[in-house]
Chain A
Amino acid sequence: MATRTTDLAVDEEVVSQMADPSIRGSRLPIDVLYTSEPPIIDPLVTATSTAQDRTLDQCLPLLKAADSNIEYNANGVPHLHRERHIKYLETTLGNLPAPFVGADASRPWCMYWALNALSLLGADVSKFRESLIVTATHMQNKTGGFGGGFGQTSHLATTYAMVLSLVIVGGESAYEVIDRRAMWKWLSSLKQPDGGFQMSLGGEVDVRGAYCAAVIISLLNIPLSLSSDSPASVAGLADLYTGLADYVQRCQTFEGGISAKPDAEAHGAYAFCALGCLAILDAPHRIIPRTLNVPRLISWLSSRQYAPEGGFSGRTNKLVDGCYSHWVGACWPLIQASLRAPSQPAHDSGPQREPTPEFVSFYDREGLIRYIMSCGQDHSSKGGMRDKPSHRSDAYHTCYVLSGLTSAQHVVSAVLAENEYVTNMAWKVSPYSDPQLFDEQDRLNPTDPVYAIPQEKREEVMTYFLSKPGF
């Protein structure tokens, strides 16, 4: 998370909107749920309550549609500053000034965040293909995987981000950058005797590793057998997936949520990694109930949404943060898929049945959308999305706040995969429009709930590598 700043970034460079002044301001009967303090507040003051109070102070004026510098729609929801966000993201793909030196080990992440967010916004990402291929080629190590930059050690997170970036721009020339045989050897070397994955050789083991590895293996159709020199192979594990679900299981905590590694605190980002990983290993309705205590997980995930903010927090008694719109928000389709077997195949062209009510919402979509549009956007000309109003926008938040927005704007339900050899699950996406809080022009492209990239891009790459079972 970015460091907390004390002042409101939105006060600067606020753009005066050209829209009809009559729809500005708080003239709308917005449900008090989103505009007033919760019904129970303890008088005891602690550091946590003080921080929470500060957050409400900065969010409430925006949620009440009380900021006269912002254009709100008829429901009191600001518009999506689509063009500004696109411009902002393209800037982050250009040359970055010296203060970005701290991102030097995360450049594949910058690329993924920008490219994925641009895809969600409907911008053309193909124009970045050639330069991405050049960049990726120089960040790939002969021993497999991608580093955070040229000459840097391969890391699962940067490899995940780079592979997804290549998949987002798509095309054979992008796919063929990846040395799959070296990738397989490298992944084998990261596989641990306890089932988990190290993030890099000699690096930490956590549930991110489980998710990133499963994404890479499944997208690239990497053979599951372990190389003979893998520490896991020496320890007697059968393949790359052996013990992975057990590892994920050990990360569930007494609160019901998932921690980064066994013994730690339940955290939203790791809940997504856990569910995403499991959904790759097997169909969610089989593997998730088998692996996790689902009722406790649902209860904990549900507790992540606060009122009046509407957005999600990452942990109990932590503050709302826009990025959990994705980390927690993307858990819901997987949770729903875990509750029952998919009922119809994806190619069933019969009459579109409305999703049953229980498939619509475990969480308050209106609250999340209001938070994202009001508090999660940088309303200045800079564009981009942010943690909360007191924070600056950045590529990370832009990607994950928009990912969360699209998941709130769409109902994604699991259907039987046409070819279970490719993927365990296919996803049927239908627009969420009850009530239509936001204007249709502000709807984003849907995203794949497991891979966090456009679904068709995920299908393309899987189909491509399915034709290459070996190397």
Chain B
Amino acid sequence: MPPKNNKGGAKAKELSEANQENDAAKTQTVFERAQAAYDLTRPPYDKEREELGGLHALSTVEKTAYANWFCTAPDEYGLLSKKAQKELWKQVNETNRPLRRGQIDRPKPDQWGQDKLGRNIGDYTVQQYEQRIAKEAQLTCLKALGRSFASKRLYASKGLVDSSTGEKYTLTEDDITAEKDRRREMAALTKDLYGEKMGPYSTDPEWDDVVPVPQMEPEAALSAIAYPEDYAESMSYLRAVMAANEHSPRCLKLTEHIISMNPAHYTVWLYRFANIQHLDVPLLDEITWLNGVALDYLKNYQIWHHRQLLVKRFARSERAFVMEMFAEDAKNYHVWSYRQYLTRKLGMWENEAHGELDSIEGMIDDDVRNNSAWSHRFFLVFSNPRYADPDSHATEPDPKVPADFVDREIAYAQAKIELAPQNQSPWNYLRGVLVKGGRKFGSVQSFVEQYVQNLGNEETEEVRSSHALEQLADIYEEAGDKEKADLCWKRLGEKWDRIRLGYWEWKRRSLKAASS
């Protein structure tokens, strides 16, 4: 656009031109400087003509000079005859005005483009512009170095040899640190120059291999949020690593970053937990971090669900170790006591959530005679605070235990008795279940009787389990059939469990004393 200078302005400009050497650089714009340079490539009367708005404003001599100058332009000059050319040069000499002509185009005010703020760079002062140019040069340098880093990394990854040194390419920690510094600098320069923000991930060489997945939504999406750049970039990288099912320390850091921006983002919490599991992050480290988050964000579902997952994970890892101990000694009393403590402390009662009952069944399957496992099973079923009466003594009925649980446990014990009828553990268990469930011993009479045949008949008597015989005595005693009960104890003492004769005799005497 043409300058709007009036005469006064022109005068002022002349003054400033006089001081050009000193401080013009401070105030002269890039466009002005280009314009000045352009002006040096043409005669002053051309500039004057332009500034004053036409030939009519020029003196006669200058009009002539202008016409001469015009005609000496390469395109025009060739159209003249030789004679006219001679005449032209004669006039030029007479007019005695300079005939400058340069090869540069007339500068356009917007030819430098706009900066990040929409300012016309042509309006920059020269000093500002030179600073900008220096930055651009610096950025170009950095990019070149970055390309060299990328090449080196590629060569190193392929195990190539540097022909100039004869050694394999290696990427050192210093290289990576330098690249990180470089990228930070590049990010700052890019932002400064072009307003293009390079986020921490796009500038981190650690994330070079990840192609971010930007949010894809139609223009018309409702409740669309103008995401802050940081958040948008982080989420793009999160989508990428989640899609790749990656679990790594950098993912953990990424989730921490996103949680710090949006702690209610349940997706990132669940993904974080998956990372914790894969990386086997120590519980206390995570809890310590979580404490800080919880104190920062007081009302939040995810923090507390995450904490629950951590505690469950701890419970699982504790049980895994306990099982490792049991592989050495499946009846280690200390370990079993700890397992009971753990069950209570961490609420590992329900099979669905923790598989504790399944785990115990596995141990009973391994060794159906492992009484410690049976004892733990009893504890699991009959001390579960969800339904059991906490004040119910182990040897008395607890009406709060659901009947179907009692049925299930009776069936379980019976199935295990069938595997090895002389195994006392399931017999003790069965008795314990019957008592807890408030069931009569007589309710299992037919089951028990199959292990005892023709009792008292010396020749045909068959007993497959002394524990069945003991249970049978209690069934008969309960039913008031004292003779049969007495016979069971008598036969136990005489033949089937003689070492306990003193006890069986005491039972017999007690029953007699009670009935007399």
Contact = CB atoms under 8 A, between A and B. Distances in A.
Interface of A: 33, 39-44, 46-49, 249-250, 252-256, 260-261, 263-267, 293, 296, 298-299, 302-303, 305-307, 310, 315-318, 357-358, 360-364, 367
Most chain A beta carbons < 10 A, residue from B369, B374, B419, B421: B369
Contact of B499 (A48, A253, A307): A307
Contact of B344 (A39, A42, A263, A267): A263
Interface string B464-477: 11100010000000
Contacts of A254: 375, 378, 382, 394-395, 428-429, 431-432, 435-436
* Interface band, chain B: 35 or more
Contacts of B202: none
A305 B499 contact: yes
Contacts of A267: 333
Contact of B500 (A49, A305, A360): A305
Contact of A44 (B330, B337, B368): B368
B393 A293 contact: yes
B308 interface: no
A315 B503 contact: no
B333 A252 contact: no
Given A40-B464, A358-B509, A364 B422 contact: no
Contact of B375 (A47, A48, A255, A306): A255
B265 interface: no
Contacts of A249: 393
Interface string B362-390: 00001111111011101100110000000
Contact of B502 (A250, A263, A318, A364): A364
Interface string B395-428: 1100000000000000000000001111111001
Provide the main secondary structure of the chain B interface.
helix
A41 B422 contact: yes
Interface in B320-362: 330-331, 333, 336-337, 340-341, 344
Contact of A293 (B378, B395, B500): B395
20 contacts: A41-B422, A47-B366, A47-B369, A253-B378, A254-B429, A255-B375, A255-B428, A261-B337, A263-B340, A263-B341, A264-B333, A265-B336, A265-B372, A266-B375, A293-B393, A296-B395, A305-B500, A316-B428, A358-B505, A360-B502
B287 interface: no
Provide the main secondary structure of the chain A interface.
loop
B395 A44 contact: no
B187 to A, nearest CB: 54
B502 A361 contact: yes
B194 interface: no
B347 to A, nearest CB: 14
Contact of A48 (B367, B383, B503): B367
Given A254-B432, A306-B499, A358 B395 contact: no
B314 interface: no
Contacts of B466: 39-40
A254 to B, nearest CB: 3
B301 interface: no
A253 B378 CA distance: 9
B242 to A, nearest CB: 43
Given A264-B375, A305-B500, A367-B499, A48 B340 contact: no
A358 B507 CA distance: 10
B192 to A, nearest CB: 61
Contact of A252 (B379, B393, B506): B393
Contacts of B86: none
B383 A263 contact: yes
Contacts of A42: 420-423
Interface of B: 330-331, 333, 336-337, 340-341, 344, 366-372, 374-376, 378-379, 382-383, 393-396, 419-425, 428-429, 431-432, 435-436, 463-466, 470, 495-503, 505-506, 509
A318 B368 CA distance: 13
A361 B330 CA distance: 34
Most chain A beta carbons < 10 A, residue from B369, B394, B395, B423: B394
B382 A47 contact: no
A46 B496 contact: no
Given A254-B428, A267-B333, A316-B424, A39 B495 contact: yes
Given A254-B395, A256-B395, A362-B506, A39 B496 contact: yes
Contacts of A307: 497-499
B337 A260 contact: yes
A318 B423 CA distance: 12
Contacts of A367: 499
A249 B393 CA distance: 8
Given A249-B393, A264-B336, A318-B331, A299 B368 contact: no
B425 A264 contact: no
A38 B330 CA distance: 25
B424 A303 contact: yes
A46 B369 contact: yes
A252 B394 contact: yes
Nearest to A265: B375
Contact of B337 (A49, A252, A264, A306): A264
Nearest to A32: B498
Contacts of B464: 40
B375 A317 contact: no
Contacts of A316: 371, 374, 424-425, 428
A266 B395 CA distance: 12
Contacts of A303: 424, 500
B499 A40 contact: no
Nearest to B421: A42
Given A254-B394, A254-B395, A265-B333, A40 B501 contact: no
Most chain A beta carbons < 10 A, residue from B419, B428, B496: B428
A253 B366 CA distance: 24
Contacts of B495: 39
Contacts of B333: 260, 264-265, 267
Given A254-B378, A254-B428, A265-B375, A40 B420 contact: no
A253 B509 contact: no
B379 A263 contact: yes
Nearest to B379: A263
B180 to A, nearest CB: 48
B473 to A, nearest CB: 11
A464 B477 CA distance: 51
Which 3 A/B pairs are nearest by Cβ-Cβ distance? A254-B432, A48-B369, A307-B499
A293 B378 CA distance: 18
A364 B340 CA distance: 34
A364 B499 contact: yes
Contacts of A302: 500, 502-503
A303 B424 CA distance: 9
Nearest to A366: B499
A77 B426 CA distance: 36
Contacts of A357: 505
A264 B371 CA distance: 11
Contacts of A362: 502-503, 506
Given A299-B503, A358-B506, A364-B502, 7 more contacts: A33-B499, A44-B423, A48-B370, A263-B340, A293-B393, A317-B370, A318-B331
Contacts of B340: 263-264
A363 B503 contact: yes
Given A40-B496, A254-B394, A260-B337, A318 B378 contact: no
A298 B503 contact: yes
A254 B429 CA distance: 8
B501 A364 contact: yes
Nearest to A50: B367
Nearest to B466: A40
Most chain B beta carbons < 10 A, residue from A49, A302, A305, A364: A302
